Structure 1
Amino acid sequence: MASLVVYDLEFTTWEGAADGDWSLPGQLREIVQIGAVRLDEELTVRDEFEALVKPVVNPRLSPYFVELTGVRQEDVDREGRAPADALGAFFAFCRSEAALSYGNDMAVIGENVGWARARGEVLDRGFLTTPFLNIRPWINTLAPETATVNSGRLWKSLGLPRPTDGAEHSALFDAHSLAAALRRLRADGHALPAGCL
């Protein structure tokens, strides 16, 4: 049975970092949380993946990040995985299937893979076999009301029921929100872009 992965990332940030495109010294987009769901041909959730990741350059989370995501420093310290370990597990979850994000998260993945390799970390699985796709332009075109919202608010902007427990800016919740938006657009008669399934 064909399937695809819908995922979301939370990565280190500071007040104003997004507006400045993380351009200040030390402002790297280090992944802190990965959330993903596997969807079948009917876009029903069949499996979930969630991981906390320990940032290396900025191991102390900014108060802004903690407030935004709800991810606590003590949770990352206790449960966080090394970047290469977490990324390898995520790539294994993807199983070389299409991986869809609401934004250019694949660029952040590429940055983090590069940094891990530069530190000498070994990924037990490569990422070049997984076709990553930014689905945001497609969604925004079909549902213009989504153009100004993040992935965690898609369900709300489309008038859908809350997709799962959790909150916006939690990677797994945001992945569920994106999956709900895909189901809604499919129900409205829109086929997913080529290469998704």
Structure 2
Amino acid sequence: MHFIIFDLEFNQEFSSLQHSDKNISQYPFEIIQIGALKLDEEFNTIATFNRYVKPTIYTKISPFITELTGITTERLLTEALFPEIYKAYEAFIGGNESVFCIWGKSDIKELFKNAEYHQLSTRLLPRLFINVQPYVSKYLSISQKKLLRLQHAVELLNIPMTYAFHNALYDAYYTAEIFKRIYSISGQPVFYDPSYVAVKLRQRQPKRTIDTDKLLQQFEKMYARNMTEEEQEIIKLAYKMGKTNQFLK
């Protein structure tokens, strides 16, 4: 058995949506980078994976994502498409008997959603996973309702900050270092059922349209000035990301 500690970077820029044949809510956050470490049962790193992905759902990288990760539209133009990267990632994992380790559930959800969108089989992906994030709060005797950001957890655990954050490989590295510290209290891996998530999504209330003008007017009222075009795009993206409920504590 191996532990696959992985992290993803996403993009979602609706203004550059390639196709419009589906409801917008059906489009996933598009994966633009996969970073992972493979650990043996003694927590030794035996392999790493780091690949960027050429986007096919959204033609442009959001300015917010570029500012956060440093990844630009131009940076990804020469990269391989998701199906090729996904197959390479499957080969790296080496079978579904491994255990995924993640910082928050959004990464595993989006991995399966991206595979489904591209009509790729997920039978070789591990179904057992450990969400490291809540166990850090337990380890530090903090309320488990208070989920820490990765960088904050790294700081509290005195892990040397050798690399920048918001890079999939580096964030996977930090998650692995945290996992080694808290493994004794992390409990047994739990089963991930993507079909259960799909059922929950289908039961959502009918989609309601955002009044973008009023949203932006509210921010302009709060800051007593007009928002720039870049600020407007960041506000709209942040609102849409919040609507996915991925970041609820």
Task: Indicate whether the TM-score tops 0.5.
Answer: yes
Shift of the 140–61 alpha-carbon distance from structure 1 to 2, 3 Å rule, reads same
Amino acid paired to 1:72? T
- Indicate whether 1:114 and 2:116 are aligned: yes
**What is the match of residue 18 of structure 1?**
none
Pick aligned residue for 2:173 from 149, 173, 176: 176
Distance 1:129 1:149 in 2: 25
Q: Match of 2:39?
A: 39
Aligned to 2:103: 102
Q: Normalising by structure 1, report the TM-score.
A: 0.76
For the residues of structure 1 that align with 2:42 and 2:115, how far apart are their CA atoms?
32
Aligned mates of 2:6, 2:159 — CA distance in 1: 19
* 2-structure distance, mates of 1:27, 1:68: 21
Structure with bigger helix share is 2
Q: Look up the SS of the partner of 1:7 in the other structure.
A: strand
- What is the letter of the counterpart of residue 112 of structure 2? G
Q: Distance in 1 between matches of 2:126 and 2:6?
A: 16
1:26 deviation in Å?
8.6
The one-letter code of the counterpart of 1:62 is S
CA positional deviation for 1:91: 2.0
What percentage of residue pairs aligned between the two structures are identical?
Answer: 26
Does structure 2 conserve the Cα–Cα contact (< 8 Å) formed by 1:154 and 1:177?
no
The 1:173/1:60 distance shift into structure 2, 3 A limit, reads: same
8 Å CA contact 2:135, 2:185 repeated in 1: no
From the superposition, tell whether residues 43 and 154 of structure 1 become closer, same or farther in structure 2 (CA, over 3 Å).
farther
Contact 2:130 2:189 in 1 (8 A): no
CA shift, 1:46, in A, is 1.8
In the alignment, what sits opposite 1:134?
131
- The structure number with the bigger radius of gyration is 2
Aligned residue-pair number: 176
> Offset of 1:148 from its aligned partner?
4.3
Which structure exhibits the higher relative contact order, with contacts defined as CA atoms closer than 8 Å and separated by 6 or more residues?
1
Unaligned runs of 5+ in 1: 15-22
CA 1:159–1:129 in 2, change beyond 3 Å: closer, same or farther? closer
- 1:156 CA drift (Å): 1.9
> Which residue number in structure 1 is paired with residue 222 of structure 2?
none
Do the aligned partners of 1:5 and 1:99 also contact (CA within 8 Å) in 2?
yes
Mean CA deviation greater in 125-134 or 84-93: 125-134
SS at match of 2:8: strand
Partner residue, 1:48: 48
What amino acid sits opposite 1:34 in the alignment?
I
- Does 1:155 pair with 2:154? yes
Q: Which amino acid aligns with 1:46?
A: I
Question: TM-score normalized by structure 2?
Answer: 0.62
